A and B are shown apart, each in its own frame.
Chain A
């Protein structure tokens, strides 16, 4: 019954909902609702239009790309831009598929590594108290207060000393140590994992490492799905760190391919739009799959002043 209440409680825009929890919703005026719907509609269009424009442009044949006045929608959609991207670019110095491969390598390795090391660390911070633990965790929380931008230049120096500049590692390793992921997963574990479960696993003789993988991780699935989304979207579309740390053309990623595609002839505009589409879609698809899990995780994202 309570579940039904919650559901219908979320229906302020329909008369049906009003009937069932009059107590809460009766003070919501119909006028207010109408204004909100219009307002939200306008903003939603503002948010969506550039993305839709990216999609339509990617499917425009060449004569529509240079139409004057420019048209928003596509009349005769074509896959030629996609084909161009792979075909003409494959004859060039670095084939397009190489950029795609690099992006996949970096994003997948970085995300997997991130989830792997954060899972263990978050568990230790969430469910154990040990000397120095609080201090280190506070330091990680503090690092949320400045962006990776601040550390860009010194990172460059450190990487050059470590001799990992201009390798995949330069992109993968910093990504694995992102502090937002650790913070979110630790908060979520603290809330989801009951000490009794851990205790009984220990009595069964499970080691702490096994507990992380066999007991804790299955319980915090929304948490690590969130980490996958955040980490993947950060690296897939990122132009900042690759342009700082990668110089070799054959190691560059999709966002960097953009300038390469466009520095050719203007006829490459279609291919550029197709590239944008490839940059845009994967994170959005991951978010469609993980959305409810992500919001579940965010319930415990709060900070105590």
Chain B
């Protein structure tokens, strides 16, 4: 009796190559010890939340009572019956499609131009351009600059010079506040990708430039296009991921500048919609559905862009 079973076991473990894998795992156990603290926390705070979101998106859940399974109805309600969500989607895509690409190319162009400066000056200009993105919620100062009354810095300046007669409600007017927030968003956007591009530019092999000059490159644009950009493709991809991720997540800044909820939901975004249901109304199932949608939009866009930037 035992012989055929044993033989079967053997073929099974052979087929899945379990033994050598286990042996290898045992030999490398120190690696698992090394990654354990990080991976455990990563699992709890990143992987598990994604799984929890997906599961809860099919339920109704208010934290106190047990979640009840309700199938696709959250999705149906969200996509067909929630006009505020549609505003949020529209605004999020406006941000992603306008500030996303602009900020990406701004990072690239400024990194490129700054990289040409001499080292001392370069360090200072880098600091000036990067500082807004690391100075926390100091962007609140834009509230004073775009203040809605005559005391607002911009209003007072424009009225002083006679461009306008009445103060403009920069952040309250539902027709213009999104554009104003975009300006602030752009101000904040020279972040990690900007630094990555600086690094990429400094990593370009200098002999390529000399060779290029011999091969008849005539202006700085040709140099950028034929030599610099192809050499820093990996950084370009990394920067794209950073920028896409950031531009789909715009929410804090809308909340802080235009208030929450903003007039007529004019500055509502998907992130804010999720926070609204998750932390104010405690409809966790519905909030999870919004999170899943945001997750899908961001990761799919990122994958598409990574494929597009990828060489060949």
Interface locus among B80-88, B97-105, B249-257: B249-257
| A177: B residues at CB distance < 8 A | 38, 41-42, 44-46
| Any B CB within 8 A of the CB of A54 | yes
The interface bits of chain A over 141-179 (1 if a CB of B lies within 8 angstroms of the residue's CB, else 0) are: 011111111111111111010100000000001101101
Residue of A nearest to B136 (CB): A237
Known A68-B156, A121-B37, A298-B196; judge A279-B136 contact (CB<8 A). yes
| Any B CB within 8 A of the CB of A230 | yes
Q: Are B291 and A151 in contact (CB under 8 A)?
A: yes
Known A143-B46, A305-B309; judge A149-B141 contact (CB<8 A). no
Q: Are A239 and B48 in contact (CB under 8 A)?
A: no
The interface bits of chain B over 266-286 (1 if a CB of A lies within 8 angstroms of the residue's CB, else 0) are: 000001001100110000100
| B203: A residues at CB distance < 8 A | 299-300
Q: Are B50 and A120 in contact (CB under 8 A)?
A: no
**One of A50, A146, A288 near B139 (C-beta < 8 A):** A50
Contact residues of B between 127 and 143, Cβ < 8 Å to A: 127-132, 134-142
Q: How far is the CA of A69 from the CA of B153 in the complex (A)?
A: 8
Q: Are A117 and B113 in contact (CB under 8 A)?
A: no
Q: Are B134 and A239 in contact (CB under 8 A)?
A: no
Name the prevailing secondary structure of the A interface residues: helix
**One of B24, B141, B310 near A54 (C-beta < 8 A):** B141
| A279: B residues at CB distance < 8 A | 135-138
Contact residues of A between 170 and 212, Cβ < 8 Å to B: 173-174, 176-177, 179-180, 182, 207-209, 212
| A140: B residues at CB distance < 8 A | 42
| A258: B residues at CB distance < 8 A | 137, 140
| A27: B residues at CB distance < 8 A | 213, 217-220, 223
Contact residues of B between 191 and 205, Cβ < 8 Å to A: 192, 195-196, 198-200, 202-203
| A128: B residues at CB distance < 8 A | 28, 31
| A7: B residues at CB distance < 8 A | 119
Q: List the interface of chain B (C-beta within 8 A of A).
A: 21, 24-25, 28, 30-32, 34-35, 37-39, 41-42, 44-50, 52-53, 56, 63, 110, 113-119, 122-123, 125-132, 134-142, 144-145, 150-153, 156-157, 160, 187, 190, 192, 195-196, 198-200, 202-203, 206, 209-210, 213-214, 217-220, 223, 232-235, 237-238, 241-242, 244-246, 248-249, 251-252, 256, 271, 274-275, 278-279, 284, 287-288, 291, 294-295, 298-299, 302-303, 306-307, 309-311
Can you report 24 residue pairs joining A to B where beta carbons are below 8 Å apart?
A24-B210, A27-B218, A50-B138, A50-B187, A53-B153, A70-B144, A70-B152, A117-B37, A121-B35, A121-B38, A124-B31, A145-B245, A146-B294, A147-B249, A149-B274, A153-B274, A158-B52, A160-B63, A176-B41, A233-B136, A240-B251, A284-B135, A301-B235, A302-B196
Q: List the interface of chain A (C-beta within 8 A of B).
A: 5-7, 9-14, 21, 23-24, 26-29, 32, 36, 40, 43-44, 46-48, 50-51, 53-54, 57, 66, 68-70, 72, 117-118, 120-121, 123-125, 128, 130-133, 136, 139-140, 142-158, 160, 162, 173-174, 176-177, 179-180, 182, 207-209, 212, 229-230, 233, 236-240, 244, 255, 258, 276, 279-280, 283-284, 287-288, 291-292, 294-305
